[in-house]
Every structure is written in structure tokens, then in C-alpha cells.
Amino acid sequence: MKKVAIFTEGHCELIFLRKLILNVFNYQNISLTCLEVVGDKQRQFPYKYEDPNYNINFELICVGNDTRVLSYIKDRYEGLIDLGFSMIIAIRDMYSKAYKKRVNHIDHSVIKSFIEGHQKTIKCFEKKGCHVQIHFSIMEFEAWLLSMPDLFPKIDQSLSIKNIKNQLGYDLTRISPEREFFHPTKELDKILNLIGKKYNKSQDQIESLIAHLDLSDYQQAAIDDKCPSFRDLYSKFLVLNKKAI
């Protein structure tokens, strides 16, 4: 059995990943546990899933802070190996205080320096047999949602591509949220404002948004390739799924 630990900076990313994994694997051959870290304690996070014939065990852990993702993995790396984990995936946003301190726009050289810096950190503690991969959402995980335009009419019929274009000036089927939006959270908020809602990132709201996504949304986003950071992550799960079957 393969054990994969996935660490996310927040609960939004965890909920998104949970649904993505369940959809990619079609609820088969996997078990899934979700945890969140509060202070220095781990507690259960909804929800747990287990296929009786699972051969991949995913553990999703929300650490609650962007700079905590790698620190948390580093401090527990040996313990994770002892527990049998052979793959660790770290997920965080590029948009951060440290990034904004450098520039206030999308800058590929700054993005590159953050990715290289994180990879260098991983090399300092990583050992053979348990690979650690860092995946940045660029600039935020919300860019991935914006790269799935079919999501919005499912939330509310009035959030058609045409209406969003008329109101906000961009065509979600054409633009690359990863290249266009420095602060994708704001754009998602603007879209929800069109139906009188605010994007508050609450657990309930994220659960409700993510519930509208299905495999076709992920597939289309990967084919359109408007967010290469999402495509890379999605491809990873496709490979894992092939091995699990």
C-alpha cells in the first residue's frame, strides 16, 4: 500500500484537494483522512473516506499558515517515513506577505526564486525513498477555480461566462487566471458579488463551492492549460490513479 501525505496551507486548499482526489480516483482504491493543525495539535477535519479495497492511503493535513507548510513537513519528515509514507506533497499559494514585500504584481523571476528557494529547503532534509514535492498555486488556489468557468453557472445561473464578461470585463474561457490575476481571491469575490454574495473563505462556503465541481471541470481545466500549476498537480494524481488500478 502506498501512503501519500499532502500538506496544505489552509482549509480551502484541503477541501479542494479532497474533492479532486475523490473525483480523480472515482472513490475507488483509496482511503482518505483529513486533519488540521491548531497550535501544536492535530485534530480531525471533515471528512474521512475509505474504499474497502484501498491500496493508496492519502492523509491531507491543513497546517493553517503558508510558511508553516514546509516547516511542518521538515520537523515531521523522519516520523512520516517511519509511518510508511513514501510521497509528500506540499501545497501553498505564491501570493504571500514575503512575495508582496518584493513586488506587487506577477513577476516570473520572483516566482522562480521562491520555487527554487523552497526546492533548496526540501533538498536539505529529503532522503531517498520519500520524495517531497512542492506545488505552488499561482498566485492563489482561487486561480484554479477561475480556470474552471463551468463552475460559475452551477453556483448561480446568472453567473454565465457572458454575464461575467459584461460585468467584469474578462472572458473566463479565454484568459489565464494564473497570468492575469495577481490576487485571484479578489476576482472570485467580485464574481460572487454579482449575485450579492461575498467570498469569505469560510469552511461552509468553500464546501458549497467545491461541491459543484466534478471530474469534467478538472479535465477541461487541464486541457485548456490556463493554470499550468493546476495541470501539473492534476497530472500527478492521474499517474497515481493509473498505478492504483
- Tell the smallest beta-carbon distance from residue 61 to other proteins (Å): 15
Q: Could you tell me which residues are beta bridge partners of residue 132?
A: 88
> How many angstroms separate the CA atoms of 89 and 3, rounded?
11
Q: Which of 42, 71, 193, 216 binds other proteins (CB under 8 A)?
A: 71
| Alpha carbons 222 and 227: distance in angstroms, whole number | 8
Contact pick of 74, 154, 179, 236 for other proteins (by CB under 8 A):
74
Of 75-94, binders to other proteins (CB under 8 A) are 92
**Sign of the CA dihedral 157, 162, 166, 169?**
positive
Letters for 120-139 (x = contact with other proteins by CB under 8 A, - = none) are xx--xx--------x-----
Given candidates 101, 108, 128, 162, which one binds other proteins under the rule CB under 8 A? Answer: 101
DSSP 15-69: HHHHHHHHHHTTT-SEEEEEEEEETTEEEE-S--EE-TT--EEEEEEE-SSTTHH
Show the site string, 35-54: x = touches other proteins by CB under 8 A, - = not. Answer: ---xxx--------------
Nearest to 59 by CA among 48, 71, 70: 48
Residue in the block written with cell 521538515: 74
Smallest gap from Cβ 113 to other proteins, in A, equals: 6
Q: Which is nearer to other proteins, 56 or 132 (CB)?
A: 132
Q: Give whichever of 120 and 242 is closer to other proteins, judged by the CB atom.
A: 120
Cβ count within 10 A of residue 60: 23
Question: Given the rule CB under 8 A, which residues bind other proteins?
Answer: 38-40, 65-71, 74, 92, 97-98, 101, 113-114, 116-118, 120-121, 124-125, 134
